Amino acid sequence: MEKNIKVKIVCKTTAPELETILSDNNIEISDSPDIIIAYGGDGTALHAINISNKADKTIPVLAIRTPESLGFISDIDLEQFKSAIPSLANYKTKNITTLEVSINNKTQLAVNDINLSGTIPRSIKFNIYHNSTMLLKKVIGDGVIIATPLGSTAYNLSAGGPILMTNNICLTLNNPHSHKKHSYVLPISDTIILEALTTAEIVCDGRAQDKIDLQP
């Protein structure tokens, strides 16, 4: 490598095999990193991206898949990482579409999706506005998922939504009772307002610890 580079490891438990590779290549593990390495599956990668976004400056995230993990974001393994180490300092970044979510005057970022659902397993009622215009009124169902192109392959796909290949966002109703149209593909610049008419909660990227309860 042309310059010394510092990395931070984000993983569920420990990563001795990754630490050994870094040590053998004189790569410093630091809390003030140039790159964050997410070692695990897609959940670990999303957690690392969340850490990056909360830092004083955005830190690039490199997602490496562990042998027991499945990953769409984490699409390289340790062997591929080892072969790439000589050029690690010359990395290039790729920007991804994210959702800016404002809840009770608090803003969060979602990389995959946001999910409006009930606080217990039961149907909820809600309105959906698109650019301040009523789109769907008094929807009854399990909730609604709003997904990025990256997140369209996750919960959105499981709920019957489409896979997005362009810079759009997808709004997918989750088990609606009375609406025949299931999904809407919208431009990324649009604004969506979700109005809960019954008690509900919002979860960003499946982070249960960050869920926010909403009152009607």
Cβ within 8 Å of residue 183, ≥6 positions away: 160, 161, 162, 170, 171, 172, 173
Return the number of other C-beta atoms located less than 10 Å from residue 151's C-beta.
31
* 76 within 8 A of 65, measured Cβ to Cβ: yes
Considering just the CA atoms, what is the radius of gyration of the chain in Å? 20
Residue with tokens 């510092």: 6
213 flagged as catalytic: no
Of 42, 113, 142, 205, the catalytic one is 42
Residue 163 to residue 147: CA distance in whole angstroms: 10
DSSP string, 70-128: --SS--B-HHHHHHHGGGGGG--------EEEEETTEEEEESSEEEEE-SSSS-EEEEE
137's tokens: 């009124």
Catalytic site positions = 42
